[in-house]
Structure 1
């Protein structure tokens, strides 16, 4: 379990929040603290106060995968192979194992034809797939996706959701503006003014937000 206690940072003010294994989507208005919360859970940002623990360990002592909203901000190297291999090279994994694991992840992601391409030659959707492969190759305990689907059509977003679930990462935390994507997760957190207003299944949260047994079409956008 990811346990958040007495968290204070910028707009965030969360007394107690537990994130269970599975895919958790975070939604809410602009400025509600979604990306800030993701950065804290990923260990990129340290909170001003409070704690975040991933199975009793701080994020910076946990294997974390991160995919940014803007594909070009993910890029560290010139070629697809080097980009995907980079987390393993930083860990000083033997070259033969790196090569095997890169090819395995290219196959898993369905992007083997991109193997010898340059990163700057890729489309936005292809860059997201490569960034996801790079974030998964070191078998993270937590995968954090910051509005990675904002530049994808619904078909491609569904494909990536399938790959994320198939990857078997214990904790996936994603921020999304796409309500269809949010419904495909296991849990949903509604964040507003830095506070977690609702936390439950997508059906439960959308019902609470709309005041109806399920959510209206109007909630699928504008959040």
Structure 2
């Protein structure tokens, strides 16, 4: 479980998050908020991409400030733009990248890549140059590159924002099918409407926290 204790953060003296206390035990959690509200920073705190200026973020009791390597083994992160995440020129090479860093044996790397690509019917893209992929294919490859490392929790930052409707639906179905505890930051309210819990962040604070049927109408009203 992820726990935030009195978490605050700023960039160059500008407050971004202020005094957040949360426990996040649910399997599906959505996060909404206006641009600049602090929600992307909030997401990055959960796997150590950002370390809080004050307070603590704990993942199964491990402090993100003290052991970021252990945190990133536990919490996978999928970026809004897959081009910010995919680092290798060929699909299979990109999926292998994180596994090689963890000294996984080659035979196991190949087996994990095959299984990850098969999950989303991407087998035919194994040797494809990444720059030839569609936006939806890139996002699914980015997700596969996270899942192949076997994280315990997956965090998504705006995973459908750059996609057309068909690929949005493919990614939404992939998220829905994940067995992992998942937190999704999104402006796509339909994507998170069936989740167990939704947080609304406003001016760096939790402005609403509850069931989607409670929080999403409140958020819509605040955005008018």
The TM-score, its normalising length taken from structure 1, stands at 0.89
Q: How does 1:181-192 map to 2 (within 5 A)?
A: 181-192=191-202
**Residue 54 in structure 1 maps to residue 59 in structure 2:** yes
**Residue 7 in structure 1 maps to residue 17 in structure 2:** no
C-alpha deviations, 1:89-125, integer Å up to 9, x for none?
Answer: 1101000010011001100022111111001111111
1:177 alignment partner, one of 172, 187, 197: 187
User: What's 1:216 paired with?
Assistant: none
Q: How does 1:117-156 map to 2 (within 5 A)?
A: 117-156=128-167
Q: Please identify runs of 4+ aligned residues in structure 1 that moved more than 6 A.
A: none
Q: How does 1:57-136 map to 2 (within 5 A)?
A: 57-59=62-64, 60=68, 61-62=70-71, 63-136=74-147
SS class of match (1:89): helix
User: What's 2:13 paired with?
Assistant: none
Q: Which runs of 5+ in 1 are unaligned?
A: 211-218
The TM-score, its normalising length taken from structure 2, stands at 0.88
Q: Which runs of 5+ in 2 are unaligned?
A: 11-15
Superposition CA RMSD, Å: 2.0
Distance 2:159 2:215 in 1: 22
Q: Alignment length, in residue pairs?
A: 213
Verify the 8 A CA contact 1:9 1:49 in the aligned structure 2. yes
Distance 2:31 2:147 in 1: 20
User: What's 1:205 paired with?
Assistant: 215
